[in-house]
Each structure stands twice: as structure tokens, then as C-alpha cells.
């Protein structure tokens, strides 16, 4: 009976070691894939979310300023009797 338990202990230890190796390989594969994806994205010259949000904010501000200036121009044209062509 002692021999049989030893065989099961050996098989259990082997399976435990195999799972450790598999988990290590999974971690390495994920790290490698993330590195490749990061390099690919960097090569494509994409902007970050922060950069995108900053430019969008600037564009919204510029549109608001343009609308305000257009309104002022129209008011001045009305006041002076001119109209747009």
C-alpha cells in the first residue's frame, strides 16, 4: 500500500509542477503579446485618450468662439444696415 501512495504522490507532484509551468508560460505569452501590441500601436502614431480629449476640448471652445463672433458680426451688420452677400 505504501508503494501505491508514493506513485500517487509522485503523479500529484508532477501535475502540480506542470500547472506551474503552464501558468508561467501563460504569463510570458501575455507579456509578449502586450509588448507586441504596444509596439504596433506606437508605430501607427495613434494619439492617447488624453491628447484626444484635449484637442476635442480646444475644438469645442473654438466653435463656441466662432459662433459668438458670427453673432456679433450679424448684430453689427444689422445695426449698420448691411446684409450678408
5 and 28 share one domain: yes
pTM across the whole model = 0.46
80 and 53 share one domain: yes
List the domain range (segments joined by +) for residue 42.
1-46
36 and 70 share one domain: no
Rounded Cα gap, residues 11 and 68, in angstroms: 78
pLDDT digits (tens, 9 = 90+) for 49-61: 999 999 999 999 9
pLDDT, average across residues 30-48: 89
Rounded Cα gap, residues 73 and 69, in angstroms: 6
pLDDT at 1 over 60: no
State the pLDDT at residue 83.
63
Q: Look up residue 1 and give its three cell numbers.
A: 500500500
6 and 23 share one domain: yes
Q: Which of 20-24, 26-30, 40-44, 65-69 has the highest mean pLDDT?
A: 65-69
39 and 4 share one domain: yes
Q: Look up residue 75 and give its three cell numbers.
A: 448684430
58 and 40 share one domain: no
6 and 42 share one domain: yes
58 and 36 share one domain: no
Amino acid at each position: 500500500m505504501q508503494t501505491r501512495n508514493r506513485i500517487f504522490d509522485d503523479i500529484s507532484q508532477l501535475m502540480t509542477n506542470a500547472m506551474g509551468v503552464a501558468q508561467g508560460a501563460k504569463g510570458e505569452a501575455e507579456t509578449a503579446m502586450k509588448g507586441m501590441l504596444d509596439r504596433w500601436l506606437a508605430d501607427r502614431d495613434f494619439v492617447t485618450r488624453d491628447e484626444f480629449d484635449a484637442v476635442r476640448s480646444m475644438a469645442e471652445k473654438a466653435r463656441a468662439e466662432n459662433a459668438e463672433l458670427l453673432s456679433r458680426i450679424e448684430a453689427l451688420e444689422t445695426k449698420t444696415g448691411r446684409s450678408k452677400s
